[in-house]
């Protein structure tokens, strides 16, 4: 789902998984590595990352 209005309006649009993952990969690319190293970390199971990068090679470049 993609928000199509202002935050809090509750307006959403269904989008395909390909678009969802491409959008996420682009946003991850925009994160400054120095910022990541000083921010809070959260665990992501390696199997999740591996399965995403197997199907979407652009995620591996992040």
pLDDT tens profile 17-52: 999 999 988 888 877 776 666 666 666 666 656 666
Asked if pLDDT for residue 62 goes beyond 80, the answer is: no
Q: Model-level pTM greater than 0.85?
A: no
Asked if pLDDT for residue 54 goes beyond 90, the answer is: no
Give whole-number Cα distances, 60 to 9, 11, 16, 26, in Å. 34, 31, 20, 11
Q: CA–CA separation, 9 vs 2, rounded Å?
A: 12
- Spans of all domains in the chain: 2-60
Q: Is 45 or 16 the better-scoring residue by pLDDT?
A: 16
Q: CA–CA separation, 16 vs 2, rounded Å?
A: 10
What pLDDT does residue 44 have?
64
């Amino acid at each position: 789902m993609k928000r199509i209005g202002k935050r809090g309006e509750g307006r959403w649009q269904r989008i395909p998984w390909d678009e969802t993952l491409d959008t996420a990969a682009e946003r991850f690319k925009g994160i400054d590595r120095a910022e990541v190293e000083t921010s809070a970390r959260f665990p992501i199971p390696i199997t999740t990352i591996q399965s995403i990068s197997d199907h979407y090679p652009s995620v591996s470049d992040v």
